[in-house]
Structure 1
Amino acid sequence: MGIALHRGTVAEVVLDFPPVNAVPAAGWHDLAATVAEAGADPATRVVVLAAEGRGFCAGVDIKEMQRTAGHEALLAANRGCAAAFAAVYDCPVPVIAAVQGFCLGGGVGLAGNADLVVAADDATFGLPEVDRGALGAATHLARLVPQQLMRTMVYTCRRVGAWELHRFGTVLEVVPPAGLRRAARRVAEEIAAKDPLVIRRAKESLNGIDPIDVKRSYRFEQGFTFELNLDGAGDRARDAFVREAERPFTERGHR
């Protein structure tokens, strides 16, 4: 359980936080360090970011925040998310996100900052932040969907499927779940066959012409999460989430 690194020309960084890959604060920092480690290895030509289980990433571990006194866990998670998203973006080689099941909150931050996304046909993408009394990762969602759809998804917390993102061109391939890692690796090996120095310079140059500073933009969003927490809205929403999550499944409200 945790973050695993499988080295090679195509390196794999794998999230594994059962049951839903809700990543604890320390896990985000571990993920940032592992992606940086993979990218710093001169033998690495491409990184595949994948996950075990039925979902790619459910975002931050809200239960951890609510059982930790004070703001320590909230601050650690916010800094950890910023570090992990930045590590994916700044990785000196291309990063391919292999997304299955749910990709929510912080999962969108990871996929949105990846260079390419390959998704299983059961993958859905969404930001439930408004329902959790928080804001963030609209910066990264805007790299996956058009502006007005991004706003709709933020306000309503609706999810969109992999095939819709494929129509936008932001998901490269949609495949059955059983073939997801294989499909991501096939694209990775195509890139890895190129001159590694040229690919590293290409990554650097593409980041250099990006019209949005994704790190600064995301930290701006996070400022409103801190504000909502001070206003009490964050705690109220997180408490409600935990209460709902702890109810028997048959008693929960479903949308």
Structure 2
Amino acid sequence: MTYQNILSELKEQILYVTINREHKLNALNKETLAELADVIAVASQQDEVRGVLLTGAGEKAFVAGADISEFSDYNGEQGEELARKGQELVFNAIEKCPKPVVAAINGFALGGGLELAMACHIRVGADHAKLGLPETSLGLIPGYGGTQRLTQIIGKGKAIEMIATADMISAEDAEKIGLLNYVVPQSELIAKAESILNRIKLRAPLAIAAAIKSVNSAFDVEANGFEIEIKEFGLCFNTEDFKEGTRAFLEKRKPVFQGK
């Protein structure tokens, strides 16, 4: 797929994905969502990709929300289909991606933008960023997993407060409640996200994928997370990376993992 709304570049095993609609504060329209679905699918399948860094163009917005003009005249059936497709193809795909996805939140992360960030595995925010789910001020609720992921991350009481008031919160407050892993100055944002991914790159790729799958299962009501962890643990023993990791430990050297 040729991308018109996002930029994608692979450097040193990190796939840099930038939502490139700065004039629209990087709002999510249908085309952008389709491109995000494609790039995440590609990242999931390519061995040379060891992690994804997701950000927005400019310094004003990560993603300021969905493109409201596209669905302002929808009926209930169309709205449900919009949410279902978006969750399946983009937001759930990011959450289930076997490669770690780090969101570098460079400004406003509102509505679908915050939902996009919450689907990522790790979130780093610039100190001027503002986060919120303003859907109730439009007569809606979050439809891309926002009610579920926000509750999982910060707890029921805070989640209902944020959603019901539709208020934005500062990056500092978001870090305090666990919505952001780190807050740094704008000038250090990408470097901080890179430093996390560079540390992860030193570890065994198949083990990272197994860990992501196992952690996600803790929030899947239809899954037995302990059983999934046990099985993934066992499968790790069949990998070349396990053999390399244990050899390196016994030989007192750094391991060189191949993702096999």
TM class by shorter-chain length? 0.7 to 0.9
- 1:159 aligns with one of 132, 157, 168: 168
| Residue matched to 1:123 | 129
| Bigger helix fraction | 1
Q: Take 1:112 and 1:69, find their aligned partners in 2: how far apart are those partners?
A: 25
| Residue matched to 1:186 | 195
Does residue 39 of structure 2 align to residue 34 of structure 1?
yes
Count of paired positions: 212
| Residue matched to 1:78 | 83
- Larger RCO (CA under 8 A, 6+ residues apart): 1
| Residue matched to 2:157 | 148
User: Structure 1: which amino acid aligns with 2:42?
Assistant: E
- 2:207 aligns with one of 190, 198, 212: 198
Does residue 103 of structure 2 align to residue 94 of structure 1?
no
- 1:13 aligns with one of 13, 17, 31: 17
Q: Take 1:71 and 1:212, find their aligned partners in 2: how far apart are those partners?
A: 26
User: Structure 2: which amino acid aligns with 1:64?
Assistant: E
- The share of aligned pairs that are identical, in percent, is 29
Deviations 1:26-67 (A, max 9, x none): 21122112112112111111111111121011221012334x
Which 5+ residue runs of structure 2 have no aligned equivalent? 223-260
User: Structure 2: which amino acid aligns with 1:146?
Assistant: G
CA separation of 1:212 and 1:126: change in aligned 2, threshold 3 A:
farther
Larger Rg: 2
8 Å CA contact 1:39, 1:47 repeated in 2: no
- 1:138 aligns with one of 147, 153, 158: 147
Of stretches 178-187 and 203-212 in structure 1, the one that deviates more from structure 2 is 203-212
CA separation of 1:96 and 1:131: change in aligned 2, threshold 3 A:
same
Cα root mean square deviation, aligned: 2.2
Give the deviation of 1:173 after TM superposition. 1.4
CA separation of 1:22 and 1:101: change in aligned 2, threshold 3 A:
same
SS in 1 for 2:24: coil
